[in-house]
Structure 1
Amino acid sequence: MTSHPRAAIILAAGQGTRMKSPVPKVLHPVGHRAMLDHAIDAAEALGCERIVVVVGAHSPEVRAHVVDRLGEESIAVQDPPLGTGHAVRAAEAVLGDFVGQVVVTYGDVPLLRAADIEAVFEAHDGVTVIGFEAADPGAYGRLVMEGDTLTAITEAKEASAEVLALKTCNSGVMAAPVGLLFELLAEVTNENAKGEFYLTDVVELARKRGAPTRAVMASEDSVMGVNAQAELATAEALFQKVQRETFLAAGVTMSAPETVHFAWDTRVGAGTVIEPFVVFGPGATVAERARIRSFSHIEGATIATGAEVGPYARLRPGADLGEGVRVGNFVEVKNVRMETGAKANHLSYLGDGSVGVGANIGAGTIFCNYDGFNKVRTEVEAGAFVGSNSALVAPVTIGAGAVIGSGSVITEDVPADAMALGRGRQVNMPGAGAAFRERAKAIKAAKSK
C-alpha cells in the first residue's frame, strides 16, 4: 500500500466500431490477454484500493468480463456516451466515499504499465497528465508547457500553427485527488462542436482555481491506443518486442527471436534455448537449461530443468514435464505428469495420466482417454516400456518395468515387470500373395476391355 490511497477509473465504454469485429474492442487480446485485463493489471500493480471500469450499456460481454474478475461493485455504466469527461463522472457514485488520488486510464491502451503511470502520483494537490513525444503528432491533442507546468491541452483542430508545431502530445491518462477531479468535472460543459464533455477541459478549470497542473512523460509506444485491427497488430508486435528483449536480457538464448511469440505470463529460466518458430500460449513456465525446439506450441504447461520439447510438439494445459524429460516431434501432451527422464519421442498423444521415472513411450502410442462422455486416466509407472503403435485404453495402469508389445491394444492393467500383448495372431499363407495378384490383374484387364 502507498501512503496516499489510490484508485483507478478505466474507461471501456467505447463501441469500437472501427475494429469491425463482433468481439468488443477492449476484449481483443494482446499477448493472449484481453486489452482490458492489461489495464486492470496495471491498476493492481499500482496498489489501487479501488478499481472502477466504466462500461457501455451496449456491451454486456465487457460488463460480464469485469464482474468475473473484479466483481459487480467495480462496474460503472455510461449511458448514453457523451464524451470522456462524462464517462469519468459515471464512476463518481461507484467510488463512494473514497478519499485519495485517482488515475484515469483506458481499456484500449494495452502496453501502459504501472511503471509508466507511477509518476502521476508524485503530486498530491493538482492535476497531472501523461504526455509523450510523438514522431508524427498529427491529430493528437498538444500539451502546452511552461517549464514543468502544463498550461493547456489544445486539440489539433483548434490549435494555432505554433501549437501544431509542438510534438508533446496528450495520452489521455490523468490523475488528481478524487474530490478535486469530480469538482472540476462538474464544471465541464459540452459547448463544443461534438456536444460532448471532455476530460481535457479539467486542466484549464484547475488552472483557473489555482490548482497545480503538470505533465509527466512516457514513451509513445507505451501509450498507444488500439482502435482498429491494424493497430491491434502493431500493439502485438510491440508487446512481443518487449518480451523478447526481456528474455534475452535474462539469459534466454534465441537465435531468431523475431519468430518466437510469448504470452503475457510466460516464464522462462536462464540458460534455456528456444529455437525458431515457437509459440507460447498462456500459463507456460519453463525452468533453466531446457530446450524448446522449433515449431512447438506450449500452453498451460510446466517444463523442468534439462527437459527437451519438440520439434513440432504440442504441450496443452496440465502438461508437467520433469527434469530431463524428452517430448519429441509430433507428440501432444495434455494433463499428464511426466517424471524425471521419461521419454515420448515420436508421434504420440498422451492425455490425462502420468508417465513414471525413466518410462519410454514408443512412437504412435495413444492414451485413449475419452469414452465420448468422460475423461479417464492412463498411468504408466516407472521404467515401463510401451512399444510403438500401442493404444492404452483408459482407465488402465501399466506397472513398473512392464513391457507392452508393439501394436497392442491394452484394456486391462498390466502388472509390474510383466509383458503384455494385445493384438491378433499373425497368419502366413504360402502362395496366397501371388494368387491375389493374378486375380487382381485379371479383374483389371476385364474392366479395361
Structure 2
Amino acid sequence: MNKMAIVLAAGQGKRMKSKLYKVLHPVGGKPMVGHVVDTLHHIEVSRTLVVVGFGSEAVQNYLGDKVEYVLQEQQLGTGHAVLQAKPLFEKEEGVTIVICGDTPLIQHHTLQEMIKLHEQTGAAATIMTAEMVQPAGYGRIIRNAEGSVSRIVEHKDCTPEEASVKEINTGTYCFDNQLLFEALGHVTNDNTQNEYYLTDVIRILAGQRKGIQAYLLEDGSESIGVNDRPALAEAEQLLKRRINKQHMINGVTLIDPENTYIEADVQIGMDTVILPGTILRGSTLIGEGCTLGPNTEITDSTVKDEVTIKQSVVQEAFVDSFASVGPFAYLRPGAKLGQHVKVGDFVEIKNADLGEGSKVSHLSYIGDATVGKNVNFGCGAITVNYDGFNKNLTEIDDDAFVGSNVNLIAPVKIGKGAYVVAGSTITQPVEAGDLAIARERQVNKPGYADKIRSRMKARKINKSE
C-alpha cells in the first residue's frame, strides 16, 4: 500500500524562548525534525510533506530536497495545518501518516506496527495512544461501550469525567488519505481555542461509522513532544539511554553509561571500551577494540581498530589502527594519523598526515604538513605554517629525526633519514641523510652572572629608597 507522511512543523515554539525554530532544536545531536524525517524514510514512505510556518527558511535549509514543503501562514490549529497539504495530496490513494516534528523519540518499528494494525483492520484512522498517570495537557481518548474509539477531546475541552481518562492522544495518526481530506472539509473551529482540530476528523469519521483504531504504545516515552526546555532535556536523557543501551547490546562496554554521551548517528565496533565523560558526536565511526576516554570528545571523525584516545579532543580527523592519542591532545580538522602513530600530551595536529610509526610525544604543533613513516619529533618541535597571509606546507620524509625545540619555517622539506639538531630554526631544505644545525654558537662569559646580580641588586635598593 502506498504510504505518505505529513510532518507538522509550523509552530513557533514560543515556550522554548529561543531564536532557533523549535523543531531545529537538537536531541542526540540531530534536530528533532531530522529524527522524524529519518524515521519516515526508514519505513519507505513515498512522499514526505513538511508543513512549515514562521522561520520556514531555516527548516528548508536543513532538510533540503529530502522532503516537500507547504506553508501554513496562519496558525489556526492542527486540522488547518494538515489541510494545507490538500492541493498536493488530495488525489493520492493509500495511507497518510500525520506526525509532529517535535516528537523525536518515535521509532520506525513503532510506526510500522501502527501501520500494520491500520491495514489489517481496514480502519479509516488509527491513533497512536499512550497511558499516562498524569495526563494533564493531553487530549483524551474516549471510547464507546464496545471499546472502540469514538472521539478525542482536547484537555481544555474535557468534562471532569473525560479529564479522568488516562489514555491520551500522542498526536501521531494513520489515515485513509481520501477519507482524511474529505472529513477535513467538515471540521469547524467551534471550541475554546477557536482552532481547527485534527482530532475532530476522528469524531467525524466515527459518526460516519468508519472504523477507528487505537495503537497503544508499550513505551509511552516514545510519544514525548518537546514544547519547552525541560521537555527537551527529558527527551535528550531518554534518547541517550536508548542509544547507549543499543551500543552495549552490540558489544560495546560503557563503564558509566550515565556519564557517556553518544549521538544518534555514531557507529561503534564491538569490544570497544568507553570511559566516563566521553562524548561522541556527529557522523563519528569507531572501530573494534578501542579504548576511549576518560573525558574525550570525538566529532565527525573516523577511528579504526585498537586505538587508544585519552582525555583528548578529536575533530574531523582520521586515526588509523593501533595509534595512541593523548592525554590532552587536540586533533583538528584534516589530521590524519597512520597505523601505530603516537600523539602525546599537549600536542596539536591540524591538516597534517602522519605516516605509520611516527611519534609526536609532547608539547608540539604540527600543522599543514606531510610526515612520512617512523619520524620522531622531540619536545616542543613545531611547524611554522602561517606567515600572516598564507598557510604553507612542511614535508618530512621517512625516518627523519626532528629534535626538541625545533622550528620548521614552512615551506620547507626535510629529507629521508635527515637529522635536525635540537634548538634549530630551519628555513632551508635539509637533504636526505644530512644533519642540520641552525642556532647561534654558545658563548660563556666567566663571572658575568655575578656582575649582573650585583647590578640588579643595586637598582632594587635605589628604587626602594
TM interval, shorter chain, is over 0.9
Which residue, 395, 398, 404 being the options, matches 1:397? Answer: 395
- 1:383 is matched with 374
- 2:436 is matched with none
After superposition, what is the alpha-carbon deviation per residue over 1:31-50, rounded to whole angstroms, capped at 9, x for unaligned?
A: 11111111111111111110
Matching residue's letter, 1:51: T
Deviation at 1:418, TM superposition (A): 0.9
Deviation at 1:96, TM superposition (A): 6.0
After superposition, what is the alpha-carbon deviation per residue over 1:365-396, rounded to whole angstroms, capped at 9, x for unaligned?
A: 2123xxxxxxxx31111111111111123411
Q: Choose 162-171 or 426-435, whichever is displaced more.
A: 426-435
Q: Equivalent residues in 2 for 1:307-386 (5 A)? A: 307-311=307-311, 313-317=312-316, 319-334=317-332, 335-368=334-367, 377-386=368-377
Distance 1:96 1:379 in 2: 59
Matching residue's letter, 1:427: Q
Is 2:440 aligned against 1:425? yes
Matching residue's letter, 2:254: M
Which residue, 442, 445, 448 being the options, matches 2:461? Answer: 445
Deviation at 1:148, TM superposition (A): 6.0
- 2:435 is matched with none
- 2:4 is matched with 7
Secondary structure at 2:262 match in 1: coil
Secondary structure at 1:131 match in 2: strand
Deviation at 1:69, TM superposition (A): 4.6
Matching residue's letter, 1:14: G
Is 2:145 aligned against 1:154? no
Which residue, 139, 143, 146 being the options, matches 1:145? Answer: 143
Distance 1:111 1:358 in 2: 44
Distance 2:272 2:108 in 1: 28
Distance 1:128 1:141 in 2: 15
- 2:202 is matched with 203
Deviation at 1:428, TM superposition (A): 4.3
Secondary structure at 1:435 match in 2: helix
Secondary structure at 1:227 match in 2: coil
Distance 1:111 1:186 in 2: 31
- Do the aligned partners of residues 435 and 201 (structure 1) sit closer, same or farther apart at CA in structure 2, a change above 3 Å counting? same
- Do the aligned partners of residues 338 and 148 (structure 1) sit closer, same or farther apart at CA in structure 2, a change above 3 Å counting? farther
5+ residue gaps, structure 2, are 386-391, 426-438
Q: Choose 428-437 or 416-425, whichever is displaced more.
A: 428-437
- Does the Cα contact within 8 Å between 1:360 and 1:384 map onto a contact in 2? yes
- 2:21 is matched with 24
Secondary structure at 1:26 match in 2: helix
After superposition, what is the alpha-carbon deviation per residue over 1:278-327, rounded to whole angstroms, capped at 9, x for unaligned?
A: 1112111111110002111100111111100012x11101x111111001
- Does the Cα contact within 8 Å between 2:91 and 2:178 map onto a contact in 1? no
- Does the Cα contact within 8 Å between 1:324 and 1:341 map onto a contact in 2? yes
Is 2:66 aligned against 1:70? yes
- 2:165 is matched with 166
Q: Choose 388-397 or 150-159, whichever is displaced more.
A: 150-159
After superposition, what is the alpha-carbon deviation per residue over 1:49-81, rounded to whole angstroms, capped at 9, x for unaligned?
A: 100000004543223333x2526xx01011111
- 1:373 is matched with none
Q: CA RMSD in A?
A: 1.7
Secondary structure at 1:329 match in 2: coil
Q: Equivalent residues in 2 for 1:409-420 (5 A)? A: 409-411=407-409, 412-420=412-420
- Does the Cα contact within 8 Å between 1:148 and 1:214 map onto a contact in 2? no
- 2:96 is matched with 102
5+ residue gaps, structure 1, are 369-376
Matching residue's letter, 2:227: N
Matching residue's letter, 1:391: I
| Percent identical residues | 27
- 2:225 is matched with 225
